[in-house]
Amino acid sequence: LFRRLFDWAFGGVFAPHPHVHVDTNGIMTDAGSSNRKVAFLHAYSALLDNFKALMTPYLSIVLEPLLSVLDAFVGESEEEEEDGSLWAAALDVLAKSMAVDEGAFWRADKLAKTLPRVVAQTPVAAELGEDGEAALAAALSALCGALTDDAQVKSLNLSLLMHTRDEEARVR
């Protein structure tokens, strides 16, 4: 059931109808896909709330599309950039999964892949205002709690400090 819901939201083997375009990354790009992604991420967030660490292994299916969503907000050409609810839902799922994980999923390799993408969301959070800043703060807090390697903690600190040099005051 989880996999079918994921495929409905992000495309894949069980794409819901033939008029849906799936790009080269396997991500669905029709007009309603952003709403489906938000609905899926809210459902997954609720599952994380209820079942805690039992749901974190399912993130192995969801992680790459989640990171693609975050990358789209940093890039300027993607349509997802306009939908702050998708961005907030993606960060919420990442934060909750890191908070409830018992060390089985969020290991150094996945954290190393995720860390720069979450930190890169700082300008996006500044654009979205207080709600964006709160969502990013929760994700960064959970990320800090999940880091176990001193080198990754140093990388996080350095990346965040580099944003203090940004030209836009709200980002600083």
Q: What is the pLDDT of residues 42-61, one digit of tens each?
A: 999 999 999 999 999 999 99
Distance of alpha carbon 34 from the chain centroid:
14
Angle, CA 90 vertex, CA 86 and CA 93 arms, to 5°: 135
Q: What is the pLDDT of residue 30?
A: 61
- Rounded Cα distance between 105 and 59, Å, is 8
**Confidence band for 40, pLDDT divided at 50, 70 and 90:** very high
Average model confidence (pLDDT) for the chain?
Answer: 85
**Confidence band for 159, pLDDT divided at 50, 70 and 90:** confident
Does the structure show a pLDDT above 80 at 146? yes
Using the structure block, give the residue that is written with the tokens 């702050």: 84
Q: What is the pLDDT of residue 83?
A: 74
Per residue in 100-145, pLDDT (tens digit) is: 999 899 999 999 999 999 999 999 998 888 999 999 999 999 999 9
3-state secondary structure of 169: coil
Per residue in 7-24, pLDDT (tens digit) is: 999 886 444 455 555 555
